[in-house]
Chain A
């Protein structure tokens, strides 16, 4: 039986460094190539030596697919293409191709210039890497080679995020990347058709959460921010430059406008304008409402939100600041945090998930003191709020997606083991399909049914359709076709007997059997035939029985009644050799009926 093999190099029972190897039909595909934000050493990147301990990696991987621009999904790509030496094809959507290099460069600067790391990829390497990327559009069917086909579906989550359907021969897999099943203020909901893959590889960040309604969360968020600034507090919201930041900005902007608030709101990114420009250019990737109104009013031109300057950190009074990066692991958001954390009136709102090892993660776990590398200790007295604004599907959304695409197996990644276990149980119970959750470095093997493409003769099909349609509709009736399987030039076809004779160049020899049953039944032969037909129809339910001119046909077995009106009738039963089973059965039936 053909197999599909999956080995996570990252994101196996873990959140933070998506990189999954998929093998099927002799093809090896890498799904995402992310880096782990919680590490500063070699654990940051996936262990490519797993694929090939030594020597070139290109021959081992047929293509790399990147689902979206988050660094835990694409952060190791320049490392792989420029330092490990992968030269094969790389696929991502247009917005991802536009935005990923900016985030990569941002991260590189933090790592190299602030932390002084060496052995990191350079700016030029990022550029060279992105040049090798093939951009794809939604639903475009891309043939990577003659056998490997991929297709992107809308995933919500962030601008340009995509799920990928991957097919080799008759085997297919859907990889979700990160996705969101509910539309938000700037993006639509993930969508996929009923593609019935053999395997669905789904993220499971919020495997056990059923999140309260989006509206409630938004109201909660606005209330908390408002209360804090009213008391003169400062609100820090660590975000990634693109994604949640835009959604929260739209939210605050409309609230400030409605409530006529004057507290300053800052967006602390060199990227602000640029980031928003990407949203303008790729407005076709945002939600319906923004697309419809963009000609009149562009949602990404903010009135109340101004760019932030570092000198504002020590300004007195209330303010709201969006700062990068989102997990407080480095950069400006961390600097602001260090300054504001010791004061009770301030507030930190974490709008997304933080991976293990980051400052964000520690604080969310209740740490009241954070120690930094230079032995600096920061006391956390500010209020800490976690609000799940990351656009990941929750348990309900994941179940929904399974329902939409009807996979034959599910494999969970990008989540925590315990929570996955719970969801796995739920999936197996509810959908009666197998669910897998391999750890990093572990391989899951999924067996798929063999399906061989075959050409079926239209004559054969039409003959079957005529027989089938001659009978009253019954969805349970078997539709069986008898023919000859023919293998030529490695191609299969299913032909009727005349076609195969033509194909080989032979003369068929037909063998026919006829037997007689004598039946004492006064009256006309036609009447006897009618009687027999009724009797046969009772005994042979599900078979096609027709009568014309006193000749009965049961499928291809012929029954003919002869004899004078007053005399014994002769019933001839005739069938060809291949109908022996049915012919002899009918003969037996008739013999027992006349006795």
Chain B
């Protein structure tokens, strides 16, 4: 068994496990940090961004670089369609992948990079909410990135000159591996490959093993994967939460006692308690709104958004601000809000109880009916702009502030100190996100809400799960005083581009033995608690499952298959005499002795662990010899 690591971003993991001659990809996360190096793409033209000065590194005169770099707020940005960092494609041939298992919708954004135009022929498995919400994320991203500024070509030259550029651009990780986002068509094709599974549904992987998605408690439909053959168990724990929020709680029991535990996607903000952050957010929003300012929350179109809506609406109501409108702006806002309310089977017990009434599990449907919550595809949606009232709270993407409606709103509100922007998504450092919008007068608050396991929760979980071996991305292995994962089990540390062998070894395969064949064997006790018998079985393979059945024809007479210990030559001579084979002459040899049977043209070489009969006589003599030798040795 081998584990390959294809992503350098531990919270957007991508591993490949080779197991039982299968290549299994675990998640295909897309690292989006790279987009922070690009200039924002405003959905509405911005004169400020359009009139930025070009940047040229000192002492460089390269016409190819012309217009690729711009200076903005004292920093250098790439003026091009933003690029992303997909999983490494050089270590594993994607056309050889058998299966991709996806743990949750934040860890599947690179799917089209893996499955489209790579010769990929395998299966992709995810839960229904993962597929649907992942689709919302991807479609939103694709629409924003493709709809803005597609006129400008992709800047390339700067990547050759990275070493000459000022930081942070000079420090950008592997810019040559960055890629433009896939087309909408490639995205649709990739998503159409996904096969939907339920929690605790055992998916048969080519008859070689079972894969089961078990609830991970992190978000709607989020799963950890358990791979199981008759003898081995691998648990892949990615994006898990032991906190109580809206999804189904984590199923720990299913992960226990694995031969290998692969751990990924822990919290990105270990220093921030998500509950406190949610409380802070409500307070900041209330203060801002009371003072007549509006609040912008750059968010993804699903996930924590549901919690934000639920909490904030209740908090505002308590603060006497129930009249403040809440807006969700996203190309997928309507679908995302509607969809969340039909996922009764994927939510916490508390939310499920509401469905039995029957009421929607999330309150946002009621907020929409009451007119407090409004959603729009985009900012220039007529229905939206006609209705737009301030002060208000706007939830929209993208959290990187490089594309999407949020870019326009920051541009619009940046100079007004009454407004506030509150960052909740943990994927991007907020100061970096805001860099091209400086100087900023609007207030900025950082309330990251990442419910994924923190280090102490993860350490506790690993202790309880007691895996035989643990595999981690290097970021979690620690060193020095940094928080890290430490376990009693042998730990394998992986990093991007590396492959590590694991100690799980297979010795046996599971089969079924048919009753008729079992009845033919009469096992004898060979030592206390162990019985054995020789057996010849016909092998039948159906749907990759092994069956041992009785070979056709009548049962053969039991014949000994295995003899052991040394042969006592004197006993052999006596046995031969009983068989009527007489006149044996024994003589010592280098390794033992030789029994001559001159009348039968036969020699028997007897050594400690072997007897070799050179028999030129009749077949019945050989049979007599067989019986005689067998009678002198223990056998089955």
A232 within 8 A of B: no
Inter-subunit contact A484/B636 (CB<8 Å): yes
Within 8 A of B (CB), among A154-186: 170
By a CB distance below 8 angstroms, the chain A residues around B543 are 194
Select which of A137, A280, A295 is within 8 A of B334 by beta carbon: A295
A210 within 8 A of B: no
A15 to chain B, nearest CB (A): 30
Inter-subunit contact A580/B626 (CB<8 Å): yes
By a CB distance below 8 angstroms, the chain A residues around B636 are 484
Inter-subunit contact A281/B358 (CB<8 Å): yes
B622 within 8 A of A: yes
Q: Contacts A481-B536, A508-B563, A584-B619 known; A513 to B511 CB distance under 8 Å? A: no
Q: Which 4 A-B pairs have the closest CB atoms?
A: A450-B515, A139-B201, A455-B508, A451-B512
By a CB distance below 8 angstroms, the chain A residues around B562 are 484, 497, 500-501, 508, 578
B450 within 8 A of A: no
Inter-subunit contact B619/A449 (CB<8 Å): no
Interface residues contributed by chain B, number (CB under 8 Å)? 86
B569 within 8 A of A: no
Of the four ranges (under 10, 10 to 19, 20 to 34, 35 or more), the interface on chain A belongs to: 35 or more
Tell me the complex Cα distance, A478–B549, Å.
11
By a CB distance below 8 angstroms, the chain B residues around A139 are 197-198, 201
Q: Give the interface segment out of B145-153, B289-297, B318-326, B520-528.
A: B520-528
A97 within 8 A of B: yes
Q: Contacts A509-B566, A511-B563, A514-B613 known; A140 to B199 CB distance under 8 Å? A: yes
B557 to chain A, nearest CB (A): 10
By a CB distance below 8 angstroms, the chain B residues around A510 are 563, 609-611
Inter-subunit contact A455/B231 (CB<8 Å): yes
B612 within 8 A of A: yes
A134 within 8 A of B: no
By a CB distance below 8 angstroms, the chain B residues around A584 are 619, 622
B202 within 8 A of A: yes
Inter-subunit contact A509/B563 (CB<8 Å): yes
B537 to chain A, nearest CB (A): 5
- B519: nearest residue on chain A (CB-CB)? A450
Known contacts A138-B201, A284-B128, A492-B513; 5 additional CB pairs below 8 A are A1-B515, A282-B342, A486-B523, A508-B563, A577-B630
Q: Give the interface segment out of A323-331, A337-345, A456-464.
A: A456-464
- B339: nearest residue on chain A (CB-CB)? A295
Select which of A194, A281, A455, A484 is within 8 A of B533 by beta carbon: A484
Interface centre among B358, B514, B566, B629 (most CB of A within 10 A): B358
B564 within 8 A of A: yes
A512 within 8 A of B: yes
By a CB distance below 8 angstroms, the chain A residues around B537 are 480-481, 483, 494
Inter-subunit contact A457/B515 (CB<8 Å): no
B286 to chain A, nearest CB (A): 32
Tell me the complex Cα distance, A513–B629, Å.
12
A516 within 8 A of B: yes
A272-302 CB contact bits vs B (8 Å, 1 = yes)?
Answer: 0010011011111000000000110000000
B341 within 8 A of A: yes
By a CB distance below 8 angstroms, the chain B residues around A501 are 562, 564
By a CB distance below 8 angstroms, the chain A residues around B616 are 515-516
By a CB distance below 8 angstroms, the chain B residues around A138 are 198, 201
B93-130 CB contact bits vs A (8 Å, 1 = yes)?
Answer: 00000000000000000000000000000000000100
Select which of B358, B523, B527, B625 is within 8 A of A277 by beta carbon: B358
B535-556 CB contact bits vs A (8 Å, 1 = yes)?
Answer: 1111111010011100110000
A472 within 8 A of B: no
B633 within 8 A of A: yes
Inter-subunit contact A487/B200 (CB<8 Å): no
By a CB distance below 8 angstroms, the chain A residues around B630 are 511, 577
Within 8 A of B (CB), among A441-468: 449-458, 461, 464
Inter-subunit contact A454/B633 (CB<8 Å): no
- A499: nearest residue on chain B (CB-CB)? B507
B431 within 8 A of A: no
Inter-subunit contact B338/A294 (CB<8 Å): yes
By a CB distance below 8 angstroms, the chain A residues around B539 are 461, 464, 479-481
By a CB distance below 8 angstroms, the chain A residues around B510 are 453-456
Inter-subunit contact A281/B355 (CB<8 Å): yes
- B532: nearest residue on chain A (CB-CB)? A486
A109 within 8 A of B: no
A335 to chain B, nearest CB (A): 28
B228 to chain A, nearest CB (A): 11
A-B contact pairs, 19 of them (CB 8 A): A277-B359, A284-B345, A449-B514, A453-B510, A455-B509, A455-B511, A461-B509, A478-B538, A482-B536, A484-B533, A484-B535, A484-B636, A485-B521, A508-B562, A511-B612, A513-B612, A577-B629, A578-B560, A584-B619
A488 within 8 A of B: yes
- B561: nearest residue on chain A (CB-CB)? A578
By a CB distance below 8 angstroms, the chain A residues around B197 are 139
- A98: nearest residue on chain B (CB-CB)? B356
Tell me the complex Cα distance, A490–B537, Å.
20
Select which of A283, A485, A505, A516 is within 8 A of B535 by beta carbon: A485
Inter-subunit contact A578/B609 (CB<8 Å): no
Tell me the complex Cα distance, A507–B523, Å.
19
Inter-subunit contact B548/A456 (CB<8 Å): yes
Select which of A141, A492, A511 is within 8 A of B611 by beta carbon: A511
By a CB distance below 8 angstroms, the chain A residues around B231 are 455
Tell me the complex Cα distance, A110–B75, Å.
77
- A493: nearest residue on chain B (CB-CB)? B508
Q: Contacts A281-B358, A504-B526, A515-B616 known; A456 to B546 CB distance under 8 Å? A: yes
B52 within 8 A of A: no
| Residues of A that sit less than 8 Å from B by CB | 1, 94, 97-98, 135, 137-142, 151, 170, 194, 274, 277-278, 280-284, 294-295, 449-458, 461, 464, 478-489, 492-494, 497, 500-501, 503-516, 577-578, 580, 584, 587-588
Within 8 A of A (CB), among B553-578: 559-567
By a CB distance below 8 angstroms, the chain A residues around B202 are 141
Within 8 A of A (CB), among B149-177: none
Inter-subunit contact A479/B515 (CB<8 Å): no
By a CB distance below 8 angstroms, the chain B residues around A578 are 534, 559-562
Inter-subunit contact A480/B538 (CB<8 Å): yes
Interface centre among A454, A458, A504 (most CB of B within 10 A): A454
B212 within 8 A of A: yes
B615 within 8 A of A: yes
Inter-subunit contact A514/B530 (CB<8 Å): no
Inter-subunit contact A487/B622 (CB<8 Å): no
By a CB distance below 8 angstroms, the chain B residues around A284 are 128, 342-343, 345
By a CB distance below 8 angstroms, the chain A residues around B498 are none
By a CB distance below 8 angstroms, the chain B residues around A94 are 344-345, 352, 355
B206 within 8 A of A: no
By a CB distance below 8 angstroms, the chain A residues around B536 are 480-482
Tell me the complex Cα distance, A516–B617, Å.
10
Inter-subunit contact B345/A137 (CB<8 Å): yes
B198-211 CB contact bits vs A (8 Å, 1 = yes)?
Answer: 11111000000000
Tell me the complex Cα distance, A294–B564, Å.
74
B90 within 8 A of A: no
By a CB distance below 8 angstroms, the chain B residues around A450 are 514-516, 518
Inter-subunit contact A281/B342 (CB<8 Å): yes
By a CB distance below 8 angstroms, the chain A residues around B534 are 482-485, 578
B599-636 CB contact bits vs A (8 Å, 1 = yes)?
Answer: 00000000011111111100100100110011001001
By a CB distance below 8 angstroms, the chain B residues around A449 are 514-515
Tell me the complex Cα distance, A482–B517, Å.
13
Q: Contacts A282-B342, A454-B512 known; A506 to B564 CB distance under 8 Å? A: yes
Tell me the complex Cα distance, A251–B399, Å.
46
Inter-subunit contact A494/B532 (CB<8 Å): no
Tell me the complex Cα distance, A97–B355, Å.
11
A79 to chain B, nearest CB (A): 22
Inter-subunit contact A280/B342 (CB<8 Å): yes
Tell me the complex Cα distance, A97–B345, Å.
12
Inter-subunit contact A494/B535 (CB<8 Å): yes
